[in-house]
Amino acid sequence: MAALTKVIHATRKANNIIKLLTNFSIKCEVTSFAVPTFNSTSLARHAFIHTTPVRNGLMEFFDDEKNWGKRIIKVGREWYKDELRIKSNEDLHKLWYVLLKERNMLLTMEASAKRRYELFPNPERIDKVEISMENLEAVVRERNKAYHLLETGETGERPAKVVRNAIGLPFCYRLRQHVIPKFANKKWKETHVHRFGGQAVRKFLRLYREKYHNIRRKEKNRQANEVLKLMRNFPDLDEEALKEKFPDVDLEKVKRNRKCRGHFVASE
């Protein structure tokens, strides 16, 4: 490691010396001629001078100064998946870091506004950036799946399975490789409890299923009442459109309800 560090320091010193000599030669050429001329060969010979990375200050974490103190800032919308699908991988890679920097800036400005008890303008900007990043990640995942399916016949995604936690609720557990086998990995067994039992857990699951069933029942009754009201007010309503909008509602059962008839007089 020490030898590698010495080699890196020596390489950096050599590059600095080359840059100084090159700058000195350029200055001499400029002072010796009244009008300096540069051709393609000279530019190609000195192209390595411009390899220094651009280092911006901490102001990259803050919004533009012209937006400071404003209540409303005009912003655009999020990136759609259809727009991201037509871009190249290089453009998506650049856009990801642009969105990442934008999110860091917005989170910094939001924290600064909270610290000063001020109103953060257009807080929906954070949601738009996060939606754009989710759409970009989804597009990249689609391309990875297509590539792996073409090359190997598999999706290439991390395998997963549905398991139950300590209180009996199902969740998606993504598998990964471990150095220690499962039967000998005590730390994994302590943090990943994929089993449940006991009277308290069974009571919780019964109440949880009852609550979920009541939510579904109320939603279904709400949709049925809405269909009943529509059919009562508009007796000539298209039933195909109702089935498409309310697929969980039994239209024949709603028709048999006397509240569906309404107060209409048949015209001759």
CA distance 245 to 248: 9
CA distance 105 to 92: 20
Residue 151 or residue 262, greater confidence: 151
Q: How far is CA 211 from CA 197, 204, 206, in A?
A: 20, 10, 9
Contacts 24+ apart (CB under 8 A), 54-61: 60/101, 60/105, 61/104, 61/105, 61/108
Query: In the beta sheet, which residues pair with residue 238?
Result: none
- CA-nearest of 145, 157, 51, 140 to 93 is 140
How much is the pLDDT for 263?
A: 59
What tokens were used for 228? 């009943």
CB 215 within 8 A of CB 244: no
What tokens were used for 259? 């509240």
Q: Is the pTM of this model over 0.85?
A: no
Work out the average pLDDT over 106-118. 86
Quick check: helix, strand or coil at residue 187?
Answer: helix
Asked if pLDDT for residue 228 goes beyond 50, the answer is: yes
Work out the average pLDDT over 186-200. 88
For the chain, where are the alpha helices, taking DSSP H only? 2-32, 40-45, 81-85, 89-115, 124-151, 186-191, 199-233, 239-245, 251-255
Render the burial of 58-76: b for 16+ CB within 10 Å, e for the rest. Answer: eeeeebeeeeeeeeeeeee
How much is the pLDDT for 43?
A: 45
Domain residue ranges in the chain: 58-157, 164-196, 198-268
Asked if pLDDT for residue 24 goes beyond 50, the answer is: no
C-alpha angle 79/60/81, rounded to 5°? 10
Contacts 24+ apart (CB under 8 A), 100-108: 100/133, 101/60, 102/129, 103/129, 103/130, 103/133, 104/61, 105/60, 105/61, 105/62, 105/63, 106/63, 108/61, 108/62
Weakest mean pLDDT among 22-26, 70-74, 199-203:
22-26
161-174 per-position pLDDT tens digit: 999 988 999 999 99
- CA-nearest of 75, 92, 91, 86 to 133 is 92
Residue 231 or residue 67, greater confidence: 231
28-37 per-position pLDDT tens digit: 443 433 444 4
CA distance 43 to 110: 46
